Amino acid sequence: KAGVTQTPRYLIKTRGQQVTLSCSPISGHRSVSWYQQTPGQGLQFLFEYFSETQRNKGNFPGRFSGRQFSNSRSEMNVSTLELGDSALYLCASSQGSSYNSPLHFGNGTRLTVT
Amino acid sequence: TQLLEQSPQFLSIQEGENLTVYCNSSSVFSSLQWYRQEPGEGPVLLVTVVTGGEVKKLKRLTFQFGDARKDSSLHITAAQTGDTGLYLCAGVPSNSGYALNFGKGTSLLVTP
């Protein structure tokens, strides 16, 4: 079974630009969550989608948005990039049937904002 | 505000030593999960503990969930260099939905 795939692996953007990151979950998994990981703050929850609906949202500004397609693939978008958005963005999928469902993470997209 | 506090933040030990890392909170959690993350990769689930007082063993790793479901510990016996990585605890607070909250992690380095 293929794991969670995130593309691209690395991105370099300039402040003020926007970026779209992609995540393909494990086949059959209906929940996709996004996390931002930085050395200072650790993993911080961005949002979670289940069957194309945003089910949970973390405390991030509106510049961070996401969506999920009917095939469970998900994208997240960050507009008007700031230097502080430089981070590892991790996507995780789960069957989503309960909060005990284990998360399966991709290897992340490393975003650098200059 | 960090819901889950992990300690120590960094740990450097030699092969063969034992160690314990802690995950504490003032909140009650429905369950707690432990992950290990290696450089350049995403976290990988090690174990989920659900019942207060539960102890789970995974080879040389022993996980314990506190009786009040507010804390957990991970004990590694006879550490090996392959245990090197970032250990993360994560949980879903009892009063929330499905958002998994992570601690900042314990970075473990095991040297030969």
pLDDT digits (tens, 9 = 90+) for A41-63: 999 999 999 999 998 899 999 99
Which of A94, A95, A111 lies closest to A103, judged by CA?
A94
pLDDT at residue B95, as a whole number? 73
- Judged against a pLDDT cut of 80, whether residue B99 lies above it is answered with no
Mean pLDDT taken over chain B = 93
Contact B88 A42 (CB under 8 A): yes
pLDDT at residue A92, as a whole number? 96
Residues 6+ apart with CB under 8 A from A98: none
Q: Name residue, tokens 């945003």.
A: A54
What's chain B's length in residues? 112
Three-class SS state of B81: helix
Mean pLDDT of the region A24-36: 95
List all residues of chain B from 19 to 58 with a beta carbon under 8 Å from chain A.
30-31, 33, 35, 40-45, 48, 50
For residue B92, name the pLDDT band (cuts at 50, 70, 90): confident
For residue A95, name the pLDDT band (cuts at 50, 70, 90): confident
Of B31, B35, B103, the CB nearest to A99: B31
pLDDT at residue A97, as a whole number? 63
Per-residue pLDDT reduced to its tens digit, B33-74: 999 999 999 999 999 999 999 999 999 999 999 999 999 999
Per-residue pLDDT reduced to its tens digit, A97-108: 666 678 999 999
Three-class SS state of A85: helix
Beta-carbon neighbour count of residue A12 at 10 Å?
11
Q: Are B70 and B52 in contact (CB under 8 A)?
A: no
pLDDT at residue A99, as a whole number? 63
Which residue type is seen at B61?
L
pLDDT at residue B98, as a whole number? 64
